[in-house]
């Protein structure tokens, strides 16, 4: 065997070595049984393994992320409702002597403090001087006589929450509630 000189000779020797290596791997890596052939086919490389892993893990990860967002929206709505009811109770306490329709005035204050909530879905209940006036919608005109000074007013509200992820409802009939009692000193 003659040893070639130069770069061309080194390339030939490298190519011959690769050909021998590939030929040796083909004959020894693939057994003659059917199961051995399939194992040989699947164990040759890991091309596409990352794609399979992503395809298997992406849907559950997206469901978890969407669920976190849905619970985040519900939690934000709860905080907004609580803050709005507090604002409504403070407003009712301030207009105690000058309101002719305390329920409508309180509802308007709550609606103004919660702009991202749908006003038609907010149900407000007011207790003044220990009594709850009869309400027609969000009005209770004529109930201003119950707003005596020195007595607490209780404002409570409910708002529906829909926790659904990809049209699967997890909490149907869920109600967010908030309640505040304002005392006058």
**Percent of the chain with pLDDT strictly greater than 70:** 77
Q: Is the pLDDT of residue 45 over 70?
A: no
- C-alpha count within 13 angstroms, C-beta hemisphere, residue 63: 9
58-72, 129-143, 164-178: range with lowest mean pLDDT: 129-143
Q: Which of 18-22, 89-93, 163-167 has maximum average pLDDT?
A: 89-93
Give 146's pLDDT tier (boundaries 50, 70, 90).
low
Q: What's the confidence (pLDDT) of residue 180?
A: 93
What would the two tokens of residue 64 be?
């978890």
pLDDT digits (tens, 9 = 90+) for 22-36: 777 666 544 555 555
pLDDT given at position 37: 52
| Annotated domain spans of the chain | 61-182
Whole-structure pTM value: 0.66
- pLDDT above 70 for 54: yes
């Amino acid at each position: 065997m003659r040893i070639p000189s130069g770069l061309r000779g080194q390339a030939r020797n490298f190519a011959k070595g690769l050909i021998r290596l590939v030929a040796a791997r083909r004959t020894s890596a693939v057994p003659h049984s059917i199961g051995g052939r399939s194992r040989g086919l699947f164990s040759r490389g890991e091309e596409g393994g990352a794609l399979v892993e992503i395809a298997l893990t992406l849907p559950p990860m997206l469901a978890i992320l969407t669920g976190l967002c849905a619970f985040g929206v519900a939690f934000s709505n709860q905080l907004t409702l609580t803050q709005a009811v507090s604002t409504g109770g403070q407003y009712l306490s301030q207009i105690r002597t000058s309101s002719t329709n305390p329920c409508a005035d309180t509802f308007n204050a709550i609606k103004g403090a919660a702009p991202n909530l749908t006003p038609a879905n907010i149900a407000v209940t007011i207790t003044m001087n220990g009594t709850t006036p009869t309400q027609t919608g969000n009005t209770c005109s004529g109930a201003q006589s119950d707003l005596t000074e020195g007595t607490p007013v209780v404002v409570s509200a409910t708002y529906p929450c829909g926790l659904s992820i990809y049209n699967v409802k997890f909490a149907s009939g869920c109600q967010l509630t908030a309640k505040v009692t304002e005392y006058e000193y």
